[in-house]
């Protein structure tokens, strides 16, 4: 959603904060702002746009002082305007805050404060925190008491950093991430280790209901009741340093190209967890798999491969839907939660519902420091490294590899997958994107794309539609091939493109028939297949593979197609409009 950062140290704060915000921009990117303290004065600059754009316009990084806070916003309360951007300062101008999350009782608090003479400039729920802190600070004259009183008054999920005019920082966490970076001569408070990884690899993962008060680089961590909290300094994995674009124009392209490597790393360091998971599954009363977006599409594939190759029945649940029918979950079953970030509020909510009825939680997750990990009985790591592009690419294929490994285990290793050879065949798809780039040009002006697949290829069609929507803003829809005649055929005419996912598996001839039915209605056909056919106007060749592996080889060219079509349409493939990487609100 949003990212927050605070810095106190020996260096000038603003340039360090701007760099940190740039790295965390994937979390939210409609506006940005920085405030710093120098000579007991708070200065603040903010505006709409992405970090580099705003910085170029108003030079956020020239603010003076060695203490500061910063924010990138993904609007929830209030439109995308300069005024609604963070930081927000209190009426006295003596306190400034940045906030991630939602303050549920902000209307009530706002009325109360207005009655006491406070005024508000923005439409945000966050500004309330600044004025509440001012009120409580004037009352207590003590930062510790001020934070304790403020957190007892606000309701919702939040992490905020507050800066006082004397240069003191304080930050509180309730269910939104907040990590402390502990450097030699500096301290960072950040939503993500990416905010400070360049400066220190020492991190403290703050617990929910904890807060920190900070004077220069001396700090104290307390709980909301004011008791000292013991903490542990963790070494951050060096791989976070990889979150650079390198020679690639965009993170999304880099992440697509990392897949021959990430496929080999998926589930790598958690082999025991895969064995344990197989064991849990074998003895489970019921098995449910949940996720959102791309992760849910992986769940749909999991359902099919578990039943086909391991004879195990599972039920898939869209995470955000479970709250409306919680009784689906039977007691003492297992819930497999798939999530790249491990922070999706919907997934965490599904886990909460399942835990209530004593289900065991198995998670397949990329971010091993996430909330989902802490709520799970067994954790399997995707190990694909930071995924910065908002649209999921490499995490999807890593999820599938983890699922293949679970299926392999359950089938007593009767299914042999040579992942090394598989990775090589993926490399071939990526080697020469020229044809895909040419097809992308054809998509520039169209308004509808349909993607057809049957069996295991249908969830791939859904995932393909999601990628096309996110990256190109073209209306895209995945259709189960057999359903064509039950309605969607009415949409086929010369204005549409249809992608036919048609590997040489048991679905091949039925899907080819569907392609012909579409072709005679004038639509243009892009065939994704290992067999060429005259029905395809454009053929994207994929390698001949074992049936179980086709989904990965099918989605990669579609990820590329979506990426290049985004370039044709001049949209930003890394940061699609209105979206955020971690959807930590419901």
**Residues near ligand F6R (CB under 6 A):** 292-295, 339-341, 344, 347, 391-392, 466, 470, 582-583
23: tokens are: 């790295």
Strand order in the sheet with 448-453: 475-480, 448-453, 497-501, 524-529, 538-541
Omega of the bond leading into 430 within 30 degrees of 0 (cis): no
**Smallest separation (angstroms) from ligand F6R to the CB of 375:** 13
H or E element at residue 465? helix 457-472
Closer to ligand F6R by Cβ: residue 211 or 288: 288
Quote the DSSP letter at residue 455: T
**Smallest separation (angstroms) from ligand F6R to the CB of 562:** 10
Contact 294, 338 (CB under 8 A): no
Whether 359 sits among the annotated catalytic residues: the reply is no
Contact 4, 191 (CB under 8 A): yes
SS3 292: coil
Beta bridge partners of 173: 159, 210
**Smallest separation (angstroms) from ligand F6R to the CB of 234:** 21
Residue with nearest beta carbon to ligand F6R:
293
Nearest to 292 by CA among 355, 352, 338, 329: 338
Closer to ligand F6R by Cβ: residue 182 or 318: 318
Closer to ligand F6R by Cβ: residue 16 or 451: 451
163: tokens are: 């800066």
Torsion sign across C-alpha atoms 248, 253, 257, 262: positive
Closer to ligand F6R by Cβ: residue 113 or 348: 348
Report the distance separating Cα 464 and Cα 557, nearest Å: 10
Closer to ligand F6R by Cβ: residue 529 or 582: 582
Looking up tokens 């907040």 gives 178
**Smallest separation (angstroms) from ligand F6R to the CB of 466:** 5
**Smallest separation (angstroms) from ligand F6R to the CB of 580:** 8
Report the distance separating Cα 490 and Cα 439, nearest Å: 25
Quote the DSSP letter at residue 500: E
**Smallest separation (angstroms) from ligand F6R to the CB of 53:** 23
Looking up tokens 């300062």 gives 89
Closer to ligand F6R by Cβ: residue 210 or 340: 340
Closer to ligand F6R by Cβ: residue 148 or 583: 583
* Catalytic annotation, pick one of 311, 428, 581, 586: 581
Report the distance separating Cα 306 and Cα 410, nearest Å: 9
**Smallest separation (angstroms) from ligand F6R to the CB of 347:** 5
Report the distance separating Cα 476 and Cα 447, nearest Å: 8
**Smallest separation (angstroms) from ligand F6R to the CB of 586:** 12
Closer to ligand F6R by Cβ: residue 348 or 410: 348
195: tokens are: 């905010």
Report the distance separating Cα 424 and Cα 409, nearest Å: 23
**Smallest separation (angstroms) from ligand F6R to the CB of 193:** 16
Looking up tokens 């886990």 gives 351
Report the distance separating Cα 91 and Cα 248, nearest Å: 45
How many CB atoms neighbour CB 475 within 10 A?
A: 14
Closer to ligand F6R by Cβ: residue 96 or 388: 388
SS3 353: helix
**Smallest separation (angstroms) from ligand F6R to the CB of 572:** 14
- Which residues, 6 or more positions from 172, have their beta carbon under 8 angstroms from its beta carbon? 147, 150, 151, 158, 159, 160, 178, 210, 211, 212, 224
Expressed in percent and rounded to 5, the helix, strand and coil fractions of the chain are 40, 25, 35
Give the Å distances, CA to CA, from 231 to 203, 242, 258, 294: 10, 27, 35, 35
Contact 460, 453 (CB under 8 A): yes
Closer to ligand F6R by Cβ: residue 127 or 255: 255
Whether 581 sits among the annotated catalytic residues: the reply is yes
* Catalytic annotation, pick one of 2, 50, 384, 467: 2
Q: Is 247 left (phi over 0), alpha (psi -120 to 50) or beta?
A: alpha
How many CB atoms neighbour CB 441 within 10 A?
A: 12
**Catalytic residue numbers, as ranges:** 2, 581
């Amino acid at each position: 959603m949003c990212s927050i950062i605070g810095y106190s140290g020996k260096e000038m704060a603003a340039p360090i904060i701007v760099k940190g915000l740039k790295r965390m921009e994937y979390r939210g990117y409609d506006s940005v702002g920085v405030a710093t303290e120098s000579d007991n004065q708070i200065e603040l600059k903010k505006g709409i746009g992405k970090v580099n754009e705003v910085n170029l316009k108003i030079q956020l990084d020239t603010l003076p002082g060695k203490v500061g806070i910063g924010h990138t916003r993904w609007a929830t309360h209030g439109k995308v305007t300069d005024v609604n951007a963070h930081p927000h300062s209190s009426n006295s101008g003596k306190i400034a805050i940045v906030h991630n999350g939602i303050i549920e009782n902000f209307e009530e608090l706002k009325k109360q404060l207005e009655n006491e003479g406070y005024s508000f400039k923005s439409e945000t729920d966050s500004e309330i925190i600044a004025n509440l802190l001012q009120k409580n600070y004037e009352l207590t004259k003590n930062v510790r008491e001020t934070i304790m009183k403020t957190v007892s008054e606000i309701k919702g999920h939040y992490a905020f950093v507050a800066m006082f005019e004397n240069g003191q920082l304080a930050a509180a966490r309730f269910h939104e991430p907040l990590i402390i970076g502990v450097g030699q001569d500096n301290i960072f408070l950040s939503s993500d280790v990416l905010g400070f990884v360049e400066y220190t690899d020492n991190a403290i993962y703050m617990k929910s209901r904890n807060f920190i008060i900070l004077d220069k680089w001396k700090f104290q961590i307390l709980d909301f009741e004011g008791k000292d909290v013991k903490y542990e300094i963790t070494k951050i994995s060096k791989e976070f340093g990889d979150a650079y674009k390198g020679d690639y124009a965009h993170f999304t392209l880099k992440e697509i190209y990392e897949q021959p490597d990430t496929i080999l790393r998926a589930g790598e360091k958690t082999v025991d967890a895969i064995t344990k998971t197989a064991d849990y599954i074998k003895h489970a009363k019921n098995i449910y798999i949940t996720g959102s977006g791309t992760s849910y599409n992986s769940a749909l594939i999991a359902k099919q491969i578990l039943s086909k190759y391991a004879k195990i029945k599972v039920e898939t649940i869209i995470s955000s839907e479970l709250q409306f029918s919680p009784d689906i979950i039977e007691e003492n079953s297992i819930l497999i939660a798939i999530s790249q970030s491990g922070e999706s509020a919907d997934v965490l909510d599904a886990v909460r519902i399942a835990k209530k009825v004593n289900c065991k939680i198995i998670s397949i997750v990329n971010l091993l420091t996430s909330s989902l990990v802490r709520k799970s009985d067994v954790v399997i790591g995707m190990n694909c490294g930071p995924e910065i592009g908002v649209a999921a690419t490499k995490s999807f294929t890593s999820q599938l590899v983890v699922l293949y490994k679970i299926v392999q285990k359950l089938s007593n290793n009767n299914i042999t997958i040579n992942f090394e050879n598989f990775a090589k065949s993926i490399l071939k798809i990526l080697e020469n994107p020229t044809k895909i780039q040419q097809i992308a040009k054809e998509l520039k002006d169209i308004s509808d794309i349909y993607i057809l697949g049957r069996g295991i290829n249908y969830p791939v069609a859904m995932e393909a539609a999601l990628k096309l929507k996110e990256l190109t803003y073209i209306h895209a829809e995945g259709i189960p091939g057999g359903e064509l005649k039950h309605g969607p055929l009415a949409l086929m005419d010369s204005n549409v493109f249809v992608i036919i996912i048609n590997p040489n598996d048991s679905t091949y001839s039925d899907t080819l028939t569907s392609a012909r039915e579409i072709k005679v209605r004038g639509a243009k056909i892009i065939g994704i297949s290992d067999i060429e056919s005259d029905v395809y106007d454009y053929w994207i060749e994929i390698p001949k593979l074992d049936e179980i592996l086709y989904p990965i080889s099918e989605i990669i060219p579609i990820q590329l197609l979506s990426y290049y079509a985004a370039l044709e349409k001049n949209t930003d493939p890394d940061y699609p409009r209105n979206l955020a990487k971690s959807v930590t609100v419901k």
